[in-house]
Structure 1
């Protein structure tokens, strides 16, 4: 990834990941599992269903230590098979 996170953010910082994925009951747990590998912590995700209920939006604030740390979490979250978009 060649992002400009280092120009836009001051690290360490709290970064709210918003992950859109298939409406599966395991989605929030799988997201937290991935985040725990990169930034261990006590997470409380916020889950909102889409209008038709086919997708869920899961928001989780995470403390990012650097540009590389943030990019690694983006990639790892995007690799979850239920995930469609990471914002």
Structure 2
């Protein structure tokens, strides 16, 4: 499984960047930051890039991951946002 490889590759705590792709709606960034704040409170400055046609936005946000459970929880909760299409 992917988690096992991540666990073997990462040494905690570490910097970990999520790339969240979703519909180009104003609330996308707010929802991504709200999920991250619940699990890893901090001062975040996500980078947003629009797709070539402008239908989607890519939001990159970097956290300090303290353990693999945090990484996995955030992958799941970010994926659960209605307007999110993919989390890398």
| Cα drift, residue 13 of structure 1 | 0.5
CA deviations on 1:23-72 (whole Å, 9 max, x unpaired) are 00110010000000010000000000000000000000111111111000
1:55 aligns with 2:56: yes
1:65 aligns with 2:46: no
TM-score (norm 1): 0.96
Q: Distance in 2 between matches of 1:6 and 1:12?
A: 12
Would you identify which runs of 4 or more consecutive aligned residues in structure 1 move more than 4 Å?
Answer: none
Q: Distance in 2 between matches of 1:84 and 1:62?
A: 20
Question: Structure 2: which 5+ runs fail to align?
Answer: none
Q: Which residue matches 2:31? A: 30
Question: Structure 1: which 5+ runs fail to align?
Answer: none
Aligned residues: 87
Specify the SS of the correspondent of 2:25.
coil
Q: Distance in 2 between matches of 1:13 and 1:78?
A: 21
1:14 aligns with 2:15: yes
CA RMSD across the alignment:
1.1
TM-score (norm 2): 0.95
Q: Distance in 1 between matches of 2:2 and 2:84?
A: 21
